[in-house]
Chains A and B, each alone.
Chain A
Amino acid sequence: MWVIYTLNGLYFAALLFLISLGLNIILGVMGILNLAHGSLYAIGAFIAAWVIIAIGMKVPPFFLYVTLLSGLVLAGIVGFLMEKSLIRFMYKRTLEYQLLLTFGVLMLLEDVIKMIWGGQAYYASAPFDLLGKVDIGGHVYPTYFLFVMAIALIAGLFIWLFMSKTKLGIMLRAISLDREMATGLGLDINRLSTFAFVLGSGLAGLAGALVVPTTPALLGFGHEPLILGFIVVVVGGLGSLKGALVGSLLVGFTRSFGIAIFPEIELPLLFLIAGIILVVKPEGLFGR
Chain B
Amino acid sequence: MLLNIENLDVFIGSTQILRNISLGVNEGEIVCLLGRNGAGKSSIIKSIIGLYPSRSGKITFREKDITPLSPRKKVLSGIGYSPEDTRIFTELTVEENINLSTWVRGKGEIFSYEKIFAIFPKIKDFLDRKGLNLSGGEKKMVSIARALALNPSLLLLDEAFEGLAPLVVNHFMEALRQIRKLGVTILLGESNVRIVSQITERTYIIERGEIIFEGHPREILENERLLKLVGK
Contact = CB atoms under 8 A, between A and B. Distances in A.
Interface string A157-188: 00000000001001101100110111111111
A184 B147 CA distance: 10
Contacts of A189: 72
A184 B99 contact: no
B72 A187 contact: yes
B199 interface: no
A181 B46 CA distance: 11
A187 B90 CA distance: 17
Q: Interface size for chain A: under 10, 10 to 19, 20 to 34, or 35 or more residues?
A: 10 to 19
B96 A170 contact: yes
Contacts, number: 63
Interface of B: 46, 49-51, 71-72, 74-76, 81, 83, 87, 89-92, 96, 99-101, 103-104, 146-147, 150
Contact of B91 (A171, A177, A186, A187): A177
Nearest to A184: B81
18 contacts: A167-B99, A170-B92, A170-B99, A170-B100, A173-B89, A173-B91, A180-B51, A180-B87, A183-B51, A183-B71, A183-B72, A184-B46, A184-B50, A185-B146, A185-B150, A186-B71, A187-B72, A189-B72
A185 B101 contact: yes
Interface of A, helix, strand, loop or mixed by DSSP = helix
B92 A178 contact: no
B89 A177 contact: yes
Contacts of B101: 185-186
Contacts of B90: 177
Contacts of B89: 173-174, 177-178, 181-182
Given A173-B91, A173-B92, A181-B87, A187 B100 contact: yes
A42 B72 CA distance: 37
A184 B83 contact: yes
Given A167-B103, A170-B99, A186 B51 contact: no
B136 to A, nearest CB: 17
B49 A184 contact: yes
A234 to B, nearest CB: 20
B104 A185 contact: yes
B100 A174 contact: yes
Contacts of A174: 89, 92, 100
B103 A171 contact: yes
A288 B132 CA distance: 12
Contacts of A186: 71-72, 74-76, 101, 104, 150
